[in-house]
Structure 1
Amino acid sequence: MSRYKKPTLDKDLDKISYMEEATTSLGRGLMAPGAGLLFIVLCGIVAGAYVLGAPSGGVIVAASAIGAYMALNIGANDVANNVGPAVGAKAMSLTTALVIAAIFESAGALLAGGDVVDTISMGIIDPAAVADTRIFTAAMMAALVSAALWINMATWFGAPVSTTHAIVGGVMGAGIAASGFSSVNWLMLSGIAMSWVFSPLVGGLVAAFFLWFIKAFIVYQDDKIAAARRWVPVLIAVMAGTFAAYLAVKGVSHVVTIELSTALVAGGVVAVLAWMVTRPLIARQSQGLENRNQSLRKLFAIPLVCSAALLSFAHGANDVANAVGPLAAIVHTAEFGDVAESVAIPLWVMAVGALGISFGLLLFGPRLINMVGRQITKLNPMRAYCVALSAATTVIIASGLGLPVSSTHITVGAVFGVGFFREWYTERSERRLDFLNEGEGGKAKRVRPVRNREEQARRKLLRRAHFMTTLAAWMVTVPASAMLSGILFFLMAAIL
């Protein structure tokens, strides 16, 4: 039979098969960018219908497309911090996380995103420096483009960065290009610079503290289930109260102003109610569980899913302004011909930001979600719980001190804090060593000492490469976006 075989035809068929597989693979890779481009075009069409016949309609259409691009990048990069730990802990699947985050991000943006936004982000630039409408429009467009490009590049390299800091850098660079260094509020920028150090450091310390508490009072107890019945309701109550205060301070701040003291009182009431409700539930849920760590993780799964939803809601309410704030300012300036310090946000502009963040998350978010949740350090529900609680706690602490902080820096700093604490606790904790030497469940274990540097490096529980990449991205976000915005300002000014 072999004499009738046609090797030339077989080779040709193999080539065609390989070509089809390559085409299919390439098509899959282009689906997300193609869908993102379609969304940007649709936003431009909607804006064109809104300003049909207006003399500055072209500027509004271009700004809408840029705002949609910015919103897509916020969803691709920033939202990963809210759901990444829960996905890494396997409390929910990636698909479930994407759906929950998209729903709550949109709800936060549309319901609590606010009707009015400041045109000069966080008071960085003196309004008199950009009083001319043409200069102001060019500055806002340059800030949007530079921030979006920087976030896009950071997402490409797998680095979670602060979108707020990116837009701050963009506004600063455009302001300097427009009227010099004297137009910048350097005192405000110094406060933002303090947050670069404050927020990730405090986030890491708070997360490490809660992880230490869980290990000391639950994990390394002889009867883990009895300890869990005692302390897990307390921990859930602390989370519920903290998130209640967090949402009061950050989540609905654009709709109604709530003092920090009032938010703390409300959080205390919610904590007590949560403890009363969860205590019998945890007692019932823990019945029949084996006395092992795997059983404990089941008790933290549902609170972790709720925390991811609440973090997404608060993020949508606050960070949608990064996309639609400059866009709303451009629309107001084009329509009324003046530069206002604060402007109303049209519903269609808010929809661009809300839908853009959700689509960006669905199309491009999985990469950063996997990086934050799985690649920095290994997370389980207990560790992810510490990360989520740290994010809310640190924001409340910063609000009390009057410091502007980044939710991205806090959450990622908390993940790093958990990883570093795991390394320290694994190598130096006498309680853990005694527990292992005595034996868990009656079986003695021998703790093997680290014999050389290679083995010690292999046992590191936190990937240093991700730590250095993220730290470098944080340090250069503001200056990089500022330099890019300054260059783009002259281009925009020449076009407009």
Structure 2
Amino acid sequence: MPSLSPDMIILILVVIMALSFDFINGFHDTANAIATSVSTRALSPRTAIIIASFLNLIGALTYTGVAKTIGGSIADPFQLENGLVVVLAALTSAILWNLITWWFGIPSSSSHALIGGIAGAVVGAAGVGSINMAGFISIVQALIFSPLIAFVVGFTVIKIISAIVANMAYHPTNKGFRMLQVVAASWQSFSHGANDAQKTMGIITFALISGGFMTPENGDFSIPLWVKISAAVAMALGTSVGGWRIIKTMGGKIMKIKPISGFSADLSSAMIITIFTAFKLPVSTTHVITSSILGVGASQKFSAVKWGLAGRILVTWVITLPATGLLAAACYVVYDVFL
């Protein structure tokens, strides 16, 4: 039996860690799609997780645009001499950060963690000049502006819907919105898979190219079928586990959620994630969904939102990119010595 080359061993480690990241992303971000529908009892936890798992899988298999952005916009995989170790360091950083924030029940961004990790590892390996600043800035802009837009859209949507149902009977209206929440949560789960799973596909493909295991034909940065399927399945399996700590935070600690507000938040965030996915831009589903909830809450009564907790979440958002970047650079230095 032929022995595996060092590069092949590192590639196998990268794939295992990338799929582990996708799995963790699944249970870390499950709460984003189903927290409001669970908290209003539109769906039971078990049913919500089954729906989210299935639609995450379908969404992950539907698009590849975001994967191509992640795989080629932050740095050129052909220009990195030690690209496999770069990816390994980035994934280590992102996984550690996800687990830390999950343990404390803070809905931080897996997207920020991964992108910060890639950038930090690339800088640690080849310096700041190796970063494709135009591509990196476009990704960061999408990460920054998408939650701001989600806040405004959530604020606006709840205002419009509230005006429409103002004179309707309370209990039948509540029942109707619980049914609509199922639709909105389903769309949100699909959009989550369509955007978030692409990031893992992109980083595996980045590793394949930088390690010399794959050469794009005619410059086309295509995603191998096995990468699509494995990433989609890993995220779906992670989603099936659920993230109850974060569900508790998203579903009630930020604000008291009613069916009409839950539907408005889910609808707003699903629209934003879908639009950014269509433009091949990665967004933080955590940021978008949390911002939608905050926008809905602020439109009804400013004091209804627990801004102290929201501020704590915001601080986590702000520090994720630099923290994971530094952690990834440190991981690269360690791996470069031992691998």
1:220-369 superposed matches below 5 A: 221=167, 224=168, 291=169, 293-331=170-208, 336=213, 342=221, 344-347=223-226, 349-369=227-247
Which runs of 5 or more residues in structure 2 are unaligned? none
**1:17-65 alpha-carbon deviations (Å, 9 max, x no partner):** xxxxxxxxxxxxxxxxxxxxxxxxxxxxxxxxxx985434422332232
Greater C-alpha radius of gyration: 1
Unaligned runs of 5+ in 1: 1-50, 225-290, 425-459
Instruction: Measure how far apart 1:120 and its partner are.
Output: 5.5
Provide the C-alpha distance between the structure 1 equivalents of 2:151 and 2:86, rounded to a whole number of angstroms: 36
**How big is the shift at 1:379?**
1.2
Distance in 1, matches of 2:299 and 2:123, equals 42
> Is the alpha carbon distance of 1:398 and 1:101 closer, same or farther for their aligned partners in structure 2, counting shifts above 3 Å?
closer
What is aligned with 1:410? 288
Does residue 480 (structure 1) correspond to residue 323 (structure 2)? The answer is: yes
Distance 1:478 1:161 in 2: 11
TM-superposition CA deviations, 1:444-484 (whole Å, max 9, x none): xxxxxxxxxxxxxxxx3222232012101110111111111
Give the corresponding residue for 2:51.
100
Contact 2:23 2:236 in 1 (8 A): yes
How much identity, in percent, do the aligned residues show? 28
- Give the Å deviation of 1:370: 2.5
- Compared CA separation, residues 52 and 362, structure 1 to 2 (3 A): farther
Distance 1:94 1:350, change over 3 A: same
**TM-score between the two structures when normalised by the length of structure 1:** 0.61
Q: What is the number of equivalent residue pairs in this alignment?
A: 336
Distance (whole Å) between structure 2 residues aligned to residue 481 and residue 298 of structure 1:
43
Displacement of 1:73: 1.7
Kindly report which structure 2 residues correspond to 1:366-377, keeping only aligned pairs within 5 A, or say none: 366-377=244-255
Residue identity opposite 1:188 in structure 2: G
Q: Aligned-pair RMSD on alpha carbons?
A: 3.0
Is residue 25 of structure 2 the alignment partner of residue 78 of structure 1?
no
CA distance in 1, matches of 2:281, 2:240: 32
Q: Which residue of 1 is the match for residue 308 of structure 2?
A: 465
The Cα of 1:187 is off from its aligned counterpart by 3.4
- Structure 2 residue 73 is the aligned partner of structure 1 residue 123: yes
Which of 60, 64, 88 matches 2:15? 64
For 1:399 and 1:354, locate their aligned partners in 2 and report how far apart those are by CA, in whole Å.
16
Normalising by structure 2, what TM-score? 0.87
Distance 1:52 1:332, change over 3 A: farther
Would the aligned equivalents of 1:324 and 1:350 in 2 still touch at CA under 8 Å?
yes
Q: Post-superposition shift, 1:318?
A: 2.5
**Structure 1 counterpart of 2:317, which letter?**
W
The residue correspondences of 1:147-226 to structure 2 (distance < 5 A) are: 147-219=94-166, 221=167, 224=168
Change in Cα spacing, 1:141 to 1:404, as seen in structure 2 (3 Å) is closer
Whole-Å Cα distance in 1 between the matches of residues 278 and 216 of structure 2?
Answer: 32
Contact 1:329–1:343 (8 Å) recurs in 2: no
1:88 and 2:39 aligned: yes
Deviation at 1:142, TM superposition (A): 1.0
- Contact map agreement 1:203 1:394 (CA 8 A) in 2: yes
Q: Aligned partners of 1:312, 1:302: CA distance in 2, in Å?
A: 16
